[in-house]
Chains A and B, each alone.
Chain A
Amino acid sequence: MPVSIAQDGTKLWQRRTSRAEWLHYAGWFALLLLFVFTWQVMTRDTIWAFVLDAPRQAADIGSRMWPPRWSYMSAVWKPLWDTINMATLGTLLAVAVAVPLAFLTARNTTPSARFVRPVGLLIIVSSRSINAIIWALVLVTILGPGVLAGILAIALRSIGFIAKLLYEAIEEINIEPVEAIRATGASPQQVLAWGIWPQITPAFAGISVFRWDINIREATVLGLVGAGGIGVNLESSLNTLAWPQVTLLLLVILGTVVVSEWVSAKIRHAII
């Protein structure tokens, strides 16, 4: 433990040696410099008059937004149904692809650690790096606007998420039941079904439900780029400056998110 001697000869406890202390400060200073530099680059084109005007704008929009237009609710049910379908079907599709992908990628179940595993990891990373809304942007251009683009966007983003968590769960399994099953003369498929799968079922169910919950949240905004669901109404209400409708839509989205979170928490609690 670093100790320094005070002027009157008593020993003072210190957390770090002075060299470590200086390095520590240098690190913080470098971070500060980085912040100031990036801040200046970022705000180079910022028009501060708009920024200063923000409180007035907020008050103005706030007054326009209230009260919500409840009568618009009748037009929201169908898109809301589409939104939930996009999330659910997208999650199911993702699960269908992610499960085999996870088994091909996990170090202890992959057929070839040298060739198949890197490909699997690449697919997982690519899928995870791109947000659902960006996948939707791409898919809407390819497939045209609609729910299908939304489902595929949700699925493409979720494959990486589910597969990553699942292959990590597979790599952490207990090897003994697997060996025991193998010792009975089971085929590789039987080992998979009776040795590995039962061990990861809780993780698998938890991950899927958790992703479904996230997907409901994401599906509400996919319509902003044309991929169907309640976001389409949000987009058109914003474009026509129909603020009372925007308020209603935000309340609906908030309600849906809260309910889906509650459902997912209940299910996960029941499983695990």
Chain B
Amino acid sequence: MSAVSRRWTPPPLIANPVLRYAIYGGVALYLVVAFGTVELNWARMSEGVVRAGRLFAGFLQPDFTSRWDDIQAGLLESLTMTVTSTIVGIILSVPFGIGAARNIAPLPVYAFCRAFIAVARSLQEVIIAIFLVVLFGFGPFAGFLTLAFATIGFLAKLLAEDIEDIDPAPLEAIRATGAGWWQVLVYAVLPQVAPRLIGLSMYRVDINFRESAVVGIVGAGGIGATLNTAMDRYEFDSAAAILLIIIGIVLACEYASGFIRAKVQ
């Protein structure tokens, strides 16, 4: 044994040294190039520091009262939009989810449902909202359609994966009693996926509320429109109040959904 170091070192994450250093080098190069193309306008940013201070002050002393009517109207739209779109989205996502599960749906139905889900998932809510506002006019109706569509994409995919993962034994057992397709669905599939479906639906409620704040920016109604107006007017204390309300409601939703999920699972 010559002078080999006896000091232990942990095995590297990427075993091949050539690949490892190539990746390190590539990452370093990318970072240099990427930072190089970020344009920083220092004059504008120093101006921003003052505004950031005002926004921060707004958080410490939010102004709920002077725009309360606007906030209330926006909040009402957001909340109603959340409830209706979640309910409609869940109802529609169940057939799509069943259709997209390979073990219970025939191939043409499966292909169609999977394609629909892929489209619904890859488009951003805001982009869908822009189009639906053009088609259906300004207001919460367009927002409702956007969120319902996005809910289908989200829930149907997870539901389909869940159905594909179910235990086949009860399925066989129910089928062996001479049950039809519907009866298999109701007595073998649904009981296995229901708890998770409820959990996911609760999770979707708070996603939909968060998104309802976003679609307002492009005119689809909700608290986002109010927030956009407040920012445009540089009313940071009202904007801070709206942000705090959003955080509060999301927190409440999360707490409630955690409670319900703990009960059903």
Binding site for B on A (CB under 8 A): 31, 34-35, 38-39, 41-43, 45-47, 50-51, 54, 57-58, 61, 81-82, 85, 88-89, 125-126, 128-131, 133-134, 137-138, 141-144, 146-148, 151, 194, 198, 201, 217-218, 220-221, 224-225, 234, 238, 250, 253-254, 257-258
22 contacts between A and B (CB under 8 A): A35-B83, A38-B83, A41-B76, A41-B80, A42-B140, A42-B144, A46-B139, A47-B137, A50-B136, A58-B135, A125-B247, A129-B246, A131-B210, A134-B214, A134-B224, A134-B243, A144-B44, A148-B40, A218-B124, A224-B217, A225-B217, A254-B123
Q: For the complex formed, measure the closest distance between the CB of A216 and the CB atoms of chain B, giving whole angstroms.
A: 11
Q: Judging by beta carbons under 8 Å apart, are B79 and A38 in contact? A: yes
Q: Judging by beta carbons under 8 Å apart, are A133 and B37 in contact? A: no
Q: Output the nearest chain B residue to A147 by Cβ-Cβ distance.
A: B38
Task: Give every chain B residue within 8 A of A61 (Cβ-Cβ).
Answer: 131, 134-135
From the candidates B34, B51, B81, B126, name the one contacting A88 in the complex (CB within 8 A): B34
Answer whether residue B107 sits at the interface, using C-beta atoms and an 8 A cutoff: no
From the candidates B83, B139, B141, B250, name the one contacting A34 in the complex (CB within 8 A): B83
* B58-77 residues at the A interface, CB under 8 angstroms: 76-77
Answer whether residue B150 sits at the interface, using C-beta atoms and an 8 A cutoff: no
Q: For the complex formed, measure the closest distance between the CB of B140 and the CB atoms of chain A, giving whole angstroms.
A: 5
- The number of chain B residues with a CB under 8 A from chain A is 58
Task: Give every chain A residue within 8 A of B44 (Cβ-Cβ).
Answer: 143-144
Known: A57-B134, A130-B243, A151-B38. A42 touches B250 (CB 8 A): no
From the candidates A34, A81, A137, A217, name the one contacting B231 in the complex (CB within 8 A): A137
Task: Give every chain A residue within 8 A of B123 (Cβ-Cβ).
Answer: 254
Q: For the complex formed, measure the closest distance between the CB of B58 and the CB atoms of chain A, giving whole angstroms.
A: 10
From the candidates B38, B55, B140, name the one contacting A138 in the complex (CB within 8 A): B55
Known: A41-B76, A46-B141, A125-B251. A81 touches B37 (CB 8 A): yes
Interface centre among B52, B214, B224 (most CB of A within 10 A): B214
Q: How many Å lie between the Cα of A143 and that of B224 in the bound state?
A: 20
From the candidates B30, B37, B139, B251, name the one contacting A45 in the complex (CB within 8 A): B139
Known: A42-B81, A129-B250, A137-B227. A51 touches B40 (CB 8 A): no
Q: For the complex formed, measure the closest distance between the CB of B41 and the CB atoms of chain A, giving whole angstroms.
A: 6
Known: A50-B137, A130-B246. A89 touches B77 (CB 8 A): no
Q: How many Å lie between the Cα of A48 and that of B40 in the bound state?
A: 47
Q: Judging by beta carbons under 8 Å apart, are A38 and B124 in contact? A: no
Task: Give every chain A residue within 8 A of B213 (Cβ-Cβ).
Answer: 130-131, 134
Task: Give every chain A residue within 8 A of B24 (Cβ-Cβ).
Answer: none
- List the 8 closest A-B pairs by CB distance, nearest first: A50-B137, A129-B250, A42-B80, A144-B44, A38-B80, A38-B83, A54-B135, A129-B247
Q: How many Å lie between the Cα of A201 and that of B13 in the bound state?
A: 9
Answer whether residue B188 sits at the interface, using C-beta atoms and an 8 A cutoff: no
Task: Give every chain B residue within 8 A of A58 (Cβ-Cβ).
Answer: 135
Task: Give every chain A residue within 8 A of B52 (Cβ-Cβ).
Answer: 142
From the candidates B77, B87, B247, name the one contacting A35 in the complex (CB within 8 A): B87
Q: Judging by beta carbons under 8 Å apart, are B38 and A220 in contact? A: no
Q: Judging by beta carbons under 8 Å apart, are A133 and B126 in contact? A: yes
Q: How many Å lie between the Cα of A93 and that of B133 in the bound state?
A: 35
Q: How many Å lie between the Cα of A31 and that of B123 in the bound state?
A: 30
Q: Judging by beta carbons under 8 Å apart, are B80 and A85 in contact? A: no
7 other A-B residue contacts (CB within 8 Å) besides A130-B243, A143-B45, A250-B127: A34-B83, A41-B76, A47-B137, A128-B250, A129-B210, A133-B214, A198-B10
Q: Judging by beta carbons under 8 Å apart, are A143 and B34 in contact? A: no
